[in-house]
């Protein structure tokens, strides 16, 4: 049942007709992208669920350094308890064209042995980019979706992940990332999926609407488009570009196998050369049994337990089935369903077809 349902879904997805899509849905503008930010900080106000002092010395060091910034010096040799404090990593994503003063959502994750961040508050944490510069400052109260409880006997229960939380609009942008959007250079559109046919169709669609030689393909991914110099006009121009509809090129014949989950996706253009296939399963069953052996009544012996082993081998006799030349996806799915092959069996069949040269498609195992 699972196998038939899985192949039916694959057939439905693969046999769908290719439809026109907007350029904004299949491309991105070169240089217009988000940037990852990360920072190290402290969460305070926890109810005894923070880091353990003896196992996370960097938490204590960070806490002492913070106090020194406010003019408080901890006497040497003093043992500071930080069960209400947790060291965390803070991450956020800086969108393209984000301006100072705008806010970002941040994710806060414990990096030591804190049990939970529930009820905690993140102290002001600088968020840095890949270049080491500070682009945002994060601070605020955490929202934690998980929680845990523990009994005196050591039993515990945890729902979701209590050591990770979020702060909606918890970071303020402090610096803008420079882009070349207003530099006056041609706008470059990068396809989400490299394909020469799609790149050519994008060029044709743009030139058909805006005039010849406005767009030109650089390779299977990039299409350069001549654009106005004035920034406001470039915005209007790009708004026009991204709403042009293009029919993408069809994907190459491909079979994708996920060996971990048993998922198999067969592309629309997969073909099979004439071939006959049989696939059987060998089942080996081993059972252990123990028998009591009684001694002769006059032999003065002792009762003994004798182990016994039964081995049974069962081999399924699956029929051989045949693929005709030029089989379509529907024929392949129908033949496999008739045999009743499981996803594991189908993986073995597809690999054997590829090795024999009968499968006219790329075989990808992920």
Looking at residue 244, its pLDDT comes to: 94
Q: What share of the chain in percent tops pLDDT 90?
A: 39
State the residue for tokens 């049994």.
Answer: 289
Comparing 109-113, 198-202, 247-251, 271-275, which segment has the lowest mean pLDDT?
271-275
Q: Please tell me whether residue 152 adopts helix, strand or coil conformation.
A: coil
Question: What are the tens digits of pLDDT across the range 315-353?
Answer: 565 555 566 665 565 666 666 666 666 677 777 777 877
29's tokens: 């503008």
Q: What are the sequence ranges of the domains in the chain?
A: 35-173, 180-246, 254-365
CA distance 55 to 110: 14
Residue 270, pLDDT above cutoff 90:
no
Question: What are the tens digits of pLDDT across the range 219-241?
Answer: 999 999 999 988 888 999 999 99
Question: What are the tens digits of pLDDT across the range 105-127?
Answer: 999 999 998 989 999 999 999 99
From residue 227, how far is each of 29, 232, 243 by CA, in Å?
Answer: 13, 11, 16
Q: Please tell me whether residue 182 adopts helix, strand or coil conformation.
A: coil
pTM of the full structure: 0.68
Residue 3, pLDDT above cutoff 60:
no
Residue 357, pLDDT above cutoff 70:
yes
CA distance 306 to 293: 7
323 or 216, which is more confident: 216
Question: What are the tens digits of pLDDT across the range 34-83?
Answer: 999 999 999 999 988 888 877 788 888 888 889 888 888 888 777 777 88
CA distance 238 to 181: 11
CA distance 307 to 291: 6
Nearest 5°: CA angle at 268, between 250 and 264?
120
- Contact between 162 and 70 under an 8 Å Cβ cutoff? The reply is no
């Amino acid at each position: 049942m699972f196998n038939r349902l899985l192949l039916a879904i694959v057939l439905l997805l693969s046999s769908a007709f290719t439809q026109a899509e907007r350029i904004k849905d299949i491309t991105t503008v070169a240089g217009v992208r988000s940037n990852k930010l990360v920072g190290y900080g402290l969460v305070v106000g926890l109810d005894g669920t923070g880091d353990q002092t003896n196992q996370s010395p960097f938490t204590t060091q960070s806490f002492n350094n913070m106090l020194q910034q406010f003019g408080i010096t901890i006497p040497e040799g003093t043992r500071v308890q930080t069960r209400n404090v947790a060291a965390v990593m803070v991450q956020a994503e800086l969108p393209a064209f984000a301006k100072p003063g705008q806010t970002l959502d941040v994710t806060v994750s414990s990096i030591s042995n804190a049990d939970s961040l529930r009820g905690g508050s993140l102290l002001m944490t600088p968020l840095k980019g890949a270049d080491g510069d500070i682009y945002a400052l994060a601070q605020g109260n955490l929202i934690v979706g998980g929680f845990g409880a523990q009994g005196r006997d050591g039993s515990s229960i945890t729902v979701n992940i209590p050591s990770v939380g979020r702060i909606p609009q918890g970071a303020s942008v402090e610096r803008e990332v420079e882009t070349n959007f207003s530099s006056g250079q041609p706008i470059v559109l990068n396809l989400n999926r490299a394909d020469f046919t799609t790149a050519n169709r994008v060029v044709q669609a743009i030139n058909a609407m805006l005039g010849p030689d406005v767009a030109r393909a650089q390779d299977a991914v990039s299409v350069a488009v001549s654009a106005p110099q004035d920034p406001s006009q470039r915005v209007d121009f790009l708004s026009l570009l991204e709403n042009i509809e293009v029919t993408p090129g069809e994907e190459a014949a491909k079979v994708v196998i996920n060996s971990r989950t048993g998922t198999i996706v067969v592309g629309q253009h997969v073909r099979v050369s004439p071939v006959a296939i049989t696939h059987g399963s060998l089942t080996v069953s081993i059972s252990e049994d123990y028998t009591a052996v009684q001694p002769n009544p006059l032999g003065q012996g002792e009762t003994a337990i004798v182990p016994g082993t039964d081995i049974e081998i069962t081999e399924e006799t699956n029929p051989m089935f045949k693929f005709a030349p030029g089989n379509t996806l529907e024929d392949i799915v129908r033949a496999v369903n008739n045999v009743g092959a499981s996803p594991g069996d189908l993986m073995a069949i597809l690999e054997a077809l590829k090795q024999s040269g009968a499968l006219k498609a790329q075989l990808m195992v992920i």
